[in-house]
Amino acid sequence: MRECSMGKREKNQIILTRTSAVLVTLIILAVGFTGGVAVTIIKTGPSGGMESAPGKNLGKMAAQLESVVEANPKDTDSWVKLGNIYFDTDQYQKAINSYSKAIETGSETPLIICDLGVMYRRNKQPEMAIKSFDRALAMDSKFEVAYMNKGIVLVNDLNRKEEAIKVWKQLLEINPLAMAGKDQSVEELITHYTDHPEQ
C-alpha cells in the first residue's frame, strides 16, 4: 500500500489525498478548509500495491510501466500502478486514462472507480466524479469513502448542499462514528451545513 504526500492546498477547495486505510477507516492526510469546516476527499487504497518512498523516481517508474502497457495493453495491474503514479504526480488526465484502462481490462473494483472519481474531481469534472462515486456505491453500498467523497464534491464543487447532507446521512446509517477529518465527525459536518446553509 502506498500513501501520497500532501497535495497542494487550494483556497476554498478540498484537498485530494491518498490513504492506505482499510475501507471503514478514514485516515486524513491533508485537510482543506471551506467556511471554517475541515473536509477532505479521500484517496482509497490499496488499489495497486505500489510502495512510495523518498528517493523513488516516479518518472522512471512511469516510463517503465508505459512500456509494459504498450507491449501488453491488457496488463491490468500495470495500468493501476501507472494510474497511481499519475495520481501522486498530479497528472489528472493521464491518471483518468490509466484507471479507465484498468477498469476496461478487468479491474473494476470500488477502490479503483473511487480513485477515478477523485481524479475527475481534480480535473475539474465534478459530474464525472459523482458518476464514479455512484458506480462504486452500486458495487458496494457500504463503501464509506465513496459516500464521503460524493458529499464533498456535491457541497464544494456543485453547491448542492442538501444533497450532500443526504449522502452523509446515508454514511452515518452505515457508520454512526464516521469521521470527516481528524477532529471532526460526519455528524458535526452535517450540523454545520444544516445550521449554515449559506457557507
The pLDDT averaged over each successive group of 10 residues in the chain (199 residues) is: 28 34 29 41 52 62 94 96 94 97 94 97 98 98 97 96 97 95 92 84
* pLDDT tens for each residue of 31-42: 333 334 445 566
Other C-beta atoms closer than 10 Å to the C-beta of 139 total 15
In degrees, rounded to 5, the angle at the alpha carbon of residue 158 between the alpha carbons of residues 149 and 80 is 40
CA 105 to chain centroid, in Å, comes to: 21
Give the model confidence (pLDDT) of 67-113 as tens digits.
999 999 999 999 999 999 999 999 999 999 999 999 999 989 999 99
SS3 category, 30: coil
The per-residue pLDDT for 135 is 98
* Cβ 66 vs Cβ 18: under 8 Å: no
Is there a contact between 153 and 126 (Cβ–Cβ < 8 Å)?
yes
Q: What is the pLDDT of residue 179?
A: 94
Q: Which of 112, 39, 110 has the alpha carbon at shortest distance from 82? A: 112
Give the pLDDT score at 113.
97
Domain 15-195 in CATH 2.40.110.10? The answer is no
Sketch the domain layout of the chain as residue ranges: 15-195
Share of the chain above pLDDT 90, in %: 65
* Helix, strand, coil distribution of the chain in percent, nearest 5: 50, 10, 40
The cell for 104 is 476496461
pLDDT, residue 33, reads 32
pLDDT of residue 47: 46
Q: Quick one: pLDDT at residue 45?
A: 52
Tell me the Ramachandran region of residue 69: left when phi exceeds 0, alpha when psi lies from -120 to 50, beta otherwise.
alpha
Task: Determine the Cα–Cα distance for residues 65 and 74; give it in Å rounded to an integer.
Answer: 12
**How confident is the model at residue 35, as a pLDDT?**
38
Cβ contact 14:34 at 8 Å = yes
Instruction: Report the pLDDT value the prediction gives residue 29, as an integer from 0 to 100.
Output: 26
Let me know: does 47 contact 23? Beta carbons within 8 Å: no
